[in-house]
Structure 1
Amino acid sequence: MEIKNCTLSDGNEILLLYQAARNLQVQRKMVMWPPFEKSFIEREIQEGKQWKITSGDVIACNWVVTFEDKEIWGERDMKDAIYIHRICTNSTLRGNRYIDNIVEWSRGYASQTGKRFVRLDTLGNNTKLIEHYTSAGFNFLGMFELTDTSSLPSHYQDEPNCCLFEIDLHAT
């Protein structure tokens, strides 16, 4: 297993992972991600935002990291955190708790980049995801209603209730 930035040659595989995730979201009656354009994914890759865990020649899991998220975190976003978005696990490799690898990696990455927090969000009252993220070390801060979602992807307009999670690297 290896964690590294995605490359442009990963674009199609990432799109397939996202489609599988959308299928699972429909099946489980969760808030569904919109389809993402390949050009959007490629731009994130070029900006160094897309990360992956590989297992052999396969992307086992991928996610996006950003350094600001004002639309979701509001006044809490003080440029002191990394924000994890769109964690997506290869459907043939679910159940391997890649979230634990992501948490371990993200703690180091946040520390290396001078950040205090690792944060993520999920939409709706998804009790299984709340349990999943808290079992991996995130503190559940609660559910908040987003007020200005105009610049966010469409699924944020469809479900304004957002669960916020963080890990404080300075906490004991």
Structure 2
Amino acid sequence: MVVNTSLQDIEVVLSLYKIASDFKKTVSGIQWPEFDRNMIETEISENRHFKITVDKQVACVWSITFDDHQVWEDKNEDPAIYIHRIATNPNFRGQKFVEQIVEWAKQFASQHNKLYVRMDTTAGNQRLTDYYVKCGFTYLGDQKMTDTEGRPDHYHNATMALFQLDV
């Protein structure tokens, strides 16, 4: 079941991001930076950070925005939600959380009068690209990042793979 993350979850969330970053590095050679605690707390307080729990444990987390002009440029004008930083507790890998997030995101987007669910990830991970396509996203190609002011470090000098799902 998808619910909002609470401030009491902050240590678990930061831990899951660290674990995911380390795993990402072994798979693709690219890792996430250490995310700013204040950024995560803001997402939580704005009800834009979510979790799936299994047996009272946080199994998966992610955040959303309603605006992502630096990545999506002109397409940002389209009514969309943007999913960021999906991280899964390694004790629960293989439980198809992205598929659950997709179903949740389509409903959430529809309730907020959005036409698309969008995501980006660092380009070059074919396995992840194939997985997102299998989950229903259309791969739209790669986008070289130019304006990254205020973005987490992994966007700087990066090329991102863009994905879109019609609601």
Q: TM-score, normalised by structure 1?
A: 0.93
1:45-124 alignment runs, 5 A limit: 45-124=44-123
Give the aligned CA root-mean-square deviation in angstroms. 1.1
1:60 and 1:106 mapped to 2: Cα distance?
17
Shift of 1:162: 0.8
Check whether the contact 1:31–1:124 (CA below 8 A) recurs between aligned residues.
no
Question: Would you identify which runs of 4 or more consecutive aligned residues in structure 1 move more than 2 Å?
Answer: 37-40
Per the alignment, residue 14 of structure 1 pairs with: 13
Give the residue type in structure 2 aligned to 1:83. Y
Check whether the contact 1:4–1:51 (CA below 8 A) recurs between aligned residues.
yes
Percent of aligned pairs with the same residue? 38
2:141 and 2:91 mapped to 1: Cα distance?
31
Per the alignment, residue 163 of structure 1 pairs with: 161
Give the residue type in structure 1 aligned to 2:161. C
Check whether the contact 2:35–2:152 (CA below 8 A) recurs between aligned residues.
no
Shift of 1:146: 1.7
How many residue pairs match? The answer is: 167
Give the residue type in structure 2 aligned to 1:25. K
1:37 matched to 2:36: yes
Long gaps (5+) in structure 1: none
Shift of 1:79: 4.9
Give the residue type in structure 2 aligned to 1:168. D
2:4 and 2:33 mapped to 1: Cα distance?
23
1:106 and 1:100 mapped to 2: Cα distance?
10
Shift of 1:115: 0.3
Long gaps (5+) in structure 2: none
Give the residue type in structure 1 aligned to 2:95. N
Residue 28 of structure 1: SS of its match in structure 2?
helix
Residue 64 of structure 1: SS of its match in structure 2?
strand
Q: TM-score, normalised by structure 2?
A: 0.96
